Structure 1
Amino acid sequence: MASEPERLGGDRFGRSWGLAQAGWITQLRARPALLSDTIAGLSGLLLGTSIVALLVSFRLPLGWDFVASVILSLVLMFTLVLYALPDHPHRRFGPANLVTAFRACLVSLTGATVLCFDSLAATDLALWTLVGVVLIALALDGVDGYLARVYGHESAFGARFDMEVDALLILVLSVAAALLEKAGLWVIWIGLMRYAFVAAGWMIPRLTGELFPSFRRKLVCVIQISALCLILIPFVETPYSTAIAVVALLALIYSFTVDIIYLLRKPGTP
């Protein structure tokens, strides 16, 4: 599991717009096997997720906006993956990245449910379904890293892809906690803090430096997802849900503080 505020350098997501555009199509054309393999895998996942979203919309009181939200969010995520694809060092997209892409599908379903379900708090079935989907996504986290090691497909591209999916899932769950009034609006900061850190890096270049590997970041990331998932369970109500959210937020603040201090004190410039 990748976690924040870990930042991986040298990838297409972090380059300037002009530099990232230069030779992008040429690079992909030079690697037809990778491109075709990636498009085939992502297209299959997009089609399967669209069918699942359609079936879910019939089972739960969700409209066509739910289906459209799932498809559009997934298309956006997969477009970003294709945009970063030239940074993938291997000949094939690989099973590890396919698992991460499947987790992205689960995140898109979760996010669309949170945004489009008007009576989410009043429907235990919807909440339990949401918790189940999140638990599957959490259980699969780490599987992609294992597969990458087994098949020799470890890369900064795959790590960043995994990290972005984790970050988006945490943001979606924090929004759900706020909408369900399991905690105050401040709970959204659990999901926004990573993006605030990235934005701060635009103004303070030292924050874009490379961090040392840390089990603490991985543990804190697991804590965030687990805590937010626990909060969504129907019988977990305030003040217990609020207390859980406070612990998760304090753990996240501590982790960010440690790494920010390290980056600011690190000698040299990025």
Structure 2
Amino acid sequence: MRTVQSGPIIGLIVQVVLLAGLAGTVGLGPAGWLAGVTYGAVMCVLLTRGLRDSGTGRLSPADRVTLSRATLVGGVTALTVDSFDRPTPVGLLVTLTAVALVLDAVDGHVARRTGTTTALGARFDMEVDAFLLLVLSVYVVEPVGVWALAIGGMRYVFVVAIWVLPWMRGTLPPRYWRKVVAATQGIVLVLAAADVLPRPLTVTAVAVALALLVESFGRDVGWLWQHRPARLARRRRPEPSVRVAPAARTGSRLLVNMSAHAVVARGTGPAGIVRTAAGRGHRFHDPVP
């Protein structure tokens, strides 16, 4: 139990240390502190629960990289919330975000090299990515527009849809394009946050990124709809077999019995059977069992 809890708790401690460093260097208001500490506490609780439910018992090397990236996202969250009341050091926010995006490629590489790829690690990595996009989309609302929130909120709309619509709970097949689109969102939002491009070009880049995200999510939703359990059950349902009604079965048995008695009466040879059938106007067939 001590091993399971140590990783997330260390992550929370590092998160508080990072917030203290931001407060001592560039300044951090009460709103930033509250957002950063809340983020770190929620991450600690969810990661502890994930480790317990998975039975892993400890963080893998790749999970530690993801935890470091998640701590940087906590710093970005604090600076973003703090920007509502006071000027934010854009250079520091962009730097923390850029390092977090670089580490996003590192943790997957470490997982493959060490053979520690797990469902928990993949989920942890995905949730950190999704929250970083949400925070960045909030930050770029002022220069771009409120519609930029669609980039960060789309993942959570998808999660709500999974809760509401059972057919969306299927497992999606791996698709490389999905990773390309996710990386594009982060790069475009960082450029928008840095405000290094002309405003029209920034707005256009964010709009294109949003269009790619809509296409990617739309393709996943379409795949889940095409492979929903009800549709697959209809496709796999066998053709109804032709069955003889009970009355027909009774008639067949009666015919066989009558013919048998006639055979006994007229002779048991093939000629007798043929004469009996011809005399009564019946045709013999295999009875239904």
- After TM superposition, the score normalised by the length of structure 1 is 0.80
**Cα distance in 2 for residues equivalent to 1:47 and 1:265:** 46
Task: State the shift of 1:267 in Å.
Answer: 4.7
Aligned to 2:7, the other structure's residue is in SS state helix
Residue 174 of structure 2 aligns with an amino acid whose one-letter code is P
Q: State the alpha-carbon separation in 2 of the partners of residues 206 and 267 from structure 1.
A: 5
- 2:15 alignment counterpart: 49
Q: Which residues of 2 match residues 87-126 of structure 1 at below 5 A?
A: 87-118=53-84, 126=89
Q: Which amino acid aligns with 1:41?
A: G
Deviation sequence 1:63-114 (CA, Å, 0-9, x none): 2332232122111011011112234354532111111111111111101111
Determine the structure 2 residue equivalent to 1:85: 51
Greater CA drift, 182-191 or 141-150: 141-150
Residue identity matched to 2:119: A
Q: Which residue of 2 aligns with 1:139?
A: 102
Structure 1 residue 143: deviation in Å? 1.6
Answer 1 or 2: higher relative contact order, Cα 8 Å, separation at least 6: 1
**Contact 1:66–1:113 (8 Å) recurs in 2:** yes
Q: Which amino acid aligns with 1:205?
A: P
Distance 1:166 1:147 in 2: 17
The 8 Å contact of residues 35 and 78 in structure 2, kept in 1 or not, is answered as yes
Instruction: State the alpha-carbon separation in 1 of the partners of residues 126 and 96 from structure 2.
Output: 18
Counterparts of 2:54 and 2:12, CA distance in 1: 21
User: Does 2:174 align with 1:213?
Assistant: yes
- The match for 2:28 is 62
Aligned residues: 231
Cross-structure match for 1:222 = 183
Which secondary structure state, in structure 1, belongs to the residue aligned with residue 140 of structure 2? Answer: helix
Task: Name the aligned partner's letter for residue 135 of structure 2.
Answer: V
Query: 3-state DSSP class of the match of 1:154?
Result: coil
Shift of 1:183: 1.0
Provide the residue aligned with 1:25 in structure 2.
Answer: none
| Stretches of structure 1 lacking an aligned partner (at least 5 in a row) | 1-31
CA drift of 1:237 comes to: 4.0
* Partner-residue secondary structure (3-state), 1:222: helix
Query: In the superposition, relative to structure 1, how do residues 85 and 92 fare at CA in structure 2: closer, same or farther (>3 Å)?
Result: closer
Give yes or no for contact 1:182–1:237 (8 Å, CA) kept in 2: no
Is the 1:207–1:264 contact (alpha carbons within 8 Å) kept by the matching residues of 2?
yes
- The one-letter code matched in structure 1 to 2:168 is L
Please give the root-mean-square deviation of Cα atoms over the aligned residues, in Å: 1.9
Report matched runs for 1:19-30 at 5 Å.
Answer: none
Paired with 2:10 and 2:228, the residues of 1 have a C-alpha distance of 47
CA contact (8 A) 1:57 1:64 kept: no
For normalisation by structure 2, the TM-score amounts to: 0.75
User: What residue in structure 2 maps to residue 170 of structure 1?
Assistant: 133
Question: Identity percentage over the alignment?
Answer: 34
Relative to structure 1, the CA distance from residue 48 to residue 209 in structure 2 (aligned partners, 3 Å threshold; closer, same or farther) is same
- Rg bigger for which structure? 2
8 A Cα contact 2:94 2:194, kept in partner: yes
- Of 101-110 and 40-49, more deviation after overlay is shown by 40-49
Give the distance between the partners of 1:47 and 1:77, measured in 2 at CA.
12
Q: Which residue matches 1:261? A: 222
Greater displacement, 94-103 / 187-196: 94-103
2:122 corresponds in structure 1 to 159
Maintained 8 Å contact 1:87/1:157: no
SS of residue matched to 1:142: helix
Long gaps (5+) in structure 2: 233-289
Matched position secondary structure for 2:100: helix
